[in-house]
Homo-oligomer: A and B are copies of this chain.
Amino acid sequence: MEIIDVTTTVGPKTVKWPDDTVPPLQEFVSHTDQGDPATVSQWMLSAHTGTHVDARMHFIPGGWTMETLDLGRSVGPCRVVDLTGVEGHVSRADLEAAEVAGQARLLLKTRNSDLGLMQREEFDEGYAAISKEAAEYLVEIGVETVGVDYLSVEPFEDEEFRTHHTLLGADVLILEGLVLTDVEPGEYFLACLPLKLAGSDGSPARAILIRGL
């Protein structure tokens, strides 16, 4: 059994959205270096830090919140789809060409992974996202969960957030910030587990792919 970690490391240098003012912050409450018996820290984290899961509430008023996530959505067989050759954003035609219909869980590997964007501190507006038409196609073919390899499924320039609204409106689960750089396209067992945060619009998660289960 092989476990592949597809999670970005969370710390003060983790890439964050431009208007997200607070980076992940750690504060030590006690430390063995100061003579305390144990080292204990606390963390300030955005619900959308690094590798994370969106709850429906993120864009849909009254939508479900993180603690009620159906884990069957983010745990189970998945396919990592090779879209590394796509220029611009992922289109309906790109998904059709990749023959993704019939899969419940899709992780889209794009040039973001080849460029190592999740591993860089500076935010890059030029990331590959999912176009509104491609999002509509995902809904049409019944995809239950879609994961992307940068901080958002949304094209940076879409100020109406139509990709989020299309996906969350149809209750497609969104996983963002996956690190797929060293992952070969193909079939895996996915376990993407966010924290069980009550009333939250999202949560940082640990995501792994398992092969040879």
Binding site for B on A (CB under 8 A): 1, 3, 5, 7-12, 20, 22, 24, 26, 29, 32-33, 37-48, 50-51, 57-61, 67, 71-72, 75-76, 161, 164, 191, 193-202, 204-208, 210, 213
* Among candidates B22, B61, B72, B76, residue contacting A32 with C-beta atoms closer than 8 Å: B61
Q: Do the beta carbons of A41 and B10 come within 8 Å of each other?
A: no
- Nearest 7 interchain pairs by C-beta: A11-B198, A193-B206, A193-B193, A39-B201, A32-B61, A42-B46, A7-B196
Q: Which residues of B contact A57 (CB under 8 A)?
A: 39
Which residue in chain B gives the minimum CB-CB distance to A28? B201
Q: Which of B12, B38, B61, B191 contacts A161 (CB 8 A)?
A: B38
Known A-B contacts: A1-B76, A37-B59, A194-B206. Give 15 more (CB < 8 A): A3-B71, A5-B196, A8-B196, A11-B197, A22-B42, A24-B197, A26-B198, A32-B60, A38-B58, A38-B59, A40-B48, A40-B58, A42-B45, A75-B208, A193-B207
Residues of B within 8 A of A204 (CB): 195
The answer to whether A75 touches B191, judged by C-beta atoms less than 8 angstroms apart, is: yes
Q: A11-B199, A193-B193 are in contact. Are A59 and B45 (CB under 8 A)?
A: no
Number of copies: 2
Out of B10, B20, B33, B191, name the residue touching A196 (CB < 8 Å). B10
Whether the Cβ atoms of A196 and B200 lie closer than 8 Å is no
Interface pair A58/B39, CB less than 8 Å apart = yes
Residues in B with CB closer than 8 Å to A40 are 20, 46-48, 58, 201-202
B44 with A44: CB separation less than 8 A: yes
Closest chain B residue to A12 by CB distance? B198
24 contacts between A and B (CB under 8 A): A3-B75, A9-B67, A10-B67, A11-B198, A11-B199, A24-B197, A29-B46, A32-B59, A32-B60, A37-B161, A38-B58, A38-B59, A38-B161, A38-B164, A39-B57, A41-B47, A41-B202, A43-B45, A43-B47, A45-B45, A191-B191, A193-B193, A193-B208, A206-B206
